[in-house]
Amino acid sequence: MREITFLKRNREKWEKYEEILANARRTDADTLAELFVELTDDLSYARTYYPKSKTTQYLNQLAADVHRNIYRTRKQNLGTIKKFWVYDLPMALTRRRRELFASLAIYLFAFAVGMYSSAVDDSFVRMIMGDQYVNKTIENIEKGDPLAIYKDEELTTMATGIGLNNTWYAFMTFAHGLYWEDYCAEMIFKTGVMVGSFHQMFINRDLGFEMFRVVYIHGALELSAIVIAGGAGIALLFGFLFPGTHGRLRSFGQAVLDGLRIMLGLVPVFGMAALLEGFVTRHTEMPLLLSLVIIGGSFAFIIWYFILYPMTVARSQLKLSGDIPNGLS
């Protein structure tokens, strides 16, 4: 490529980089790090084909300025843990919003399939949930306590076991995506069918609302976290198949990093869901208002932190940089 062509293709991008650098004190260090990587790619090309040109000197100086500001900015940033929750995780969620909505779409479709199948064939739920579980539930319904199954185990053992099991399930779903990306979508689909058929089993017996007000005390957080974990796994597939303007390996690496951040962020969500299931859900006789407050609060938290807050962080970063951060376009 002729140098003049190289300049024309990249001049506008470099000018935006200069604007970001001018606001370096207000720009996150990770954004500067991404900028440094992109600049070094251009600098490497220029050194190869135009080693003594002014273009190479300009890029070398620009990269050096960015590198110097990275460490200056890092000192001003929030503490590592706080920064993860305030910036790193929300930005990862923003970059992977397509995958998260894809996971939600798969889950909702599967949920509808499960409900419809159980509505037209009452035996379908037995195939999904197993005869033992269904028989136990029917027995509890006949005794007048349809959700007594949540009272069967000792509190602490139950909460600990549920938390470990759900967290392990979610991480394994994500980990399988490293070498079998379709597994994530498959597991989300199976979960949706199972939950949909479970709902319909109670609806068929006019206990739909009773099931909702009890099960979703923990289910609001648990099911939301499973869908988000599925999105983190699907991100691996998207990162590999749709690298965009970056190399496939780099795109996949960024997807893995974002996925791990999301999974780490879900650990306390699964933990809280387990505590609710072990210590609160079992009180099926609790006042309706209290139950609805817990369910509404859980869904409100998921919507705020995993959807609305990341959008706010991304818009704030966009205003600071004057451009869309890598991965948001």
pLDDT at 256: 87
Average pLDDT, the chain: 80
**Average pLDDT for 85-112:** 93
Q: Does residue 298 carry a pLDDT above 80? A: yes
Q: Which residue has the higher pLDDT, 104 or 325?
A: 104
Q: Quick one: CA torsion of 188, 106, 215, 277, rounded to 10 degrees? A: 40
What is the share, in percent, of the chain residues with pLDDT greater than 90?
31
Residue 168, pLDDT score: 65
- Give the mean model confidence (pLDDT) for residues 71-79: 53
Give tens-digit pLDDT for 2-39.
Answer: 777 878 888 887 777 777 777 655 566 566 666 767 77
For residue 258, pLDDT beyond 80: yes
Q: Which one, of 206, 255, 208, lies nearest residue 232 by Cα?
A: 255
* Measured distance CA(174)–CA(204) in Å, rounded: 34
pLDDT category at 236 given cuts 50, 70, 90 is: confident
68, two tokens = 């110097």
Please say whether the beta carbons of 254 and 99 come within 8 A: no
Q: What is the mean pLDDT of the segment spanning 173-180?
A: 59
Average pLDDT, integer, range 201-221: 92
Of the candidate ranges 73-87, 130-144, 164-178, 230-244, the one whose mean pLDDT is the lowest = 164-178
The token pair that represents 309 in the structure block: 């807050």
Count of CA atoms in the C-beta half-sphere (13 A) of 222: 25
Q: Residue 64: helix, strand or coil by DSSP?
A: helix
pLDDT of residue 141: 84
138 in Cβ contact with 219 (< 8 Å): no
Model pLDDT for residues 126-154, shown as the tens digit of each residue: 998 888 888 888 888 887 777 776 666 55
Sign of CA pseudo-dihedral 231, 233, 236, 237? negative
Q: For residue 232, which of 81, 84, 34, 92 has the smallest C-alpha distance?
A: 92
**Contacting residues for 82 by C-beta, under 8 A, at least 6 apart:** none
> 105 pLDDT exceeds 70?
yes
Task: Decide: 323 and 241 in contact? Cβ < 8 Å.
Answer: no
pTM of the model: 0.71
Distance linking the first and last C-alpha atoms of the chain: 27
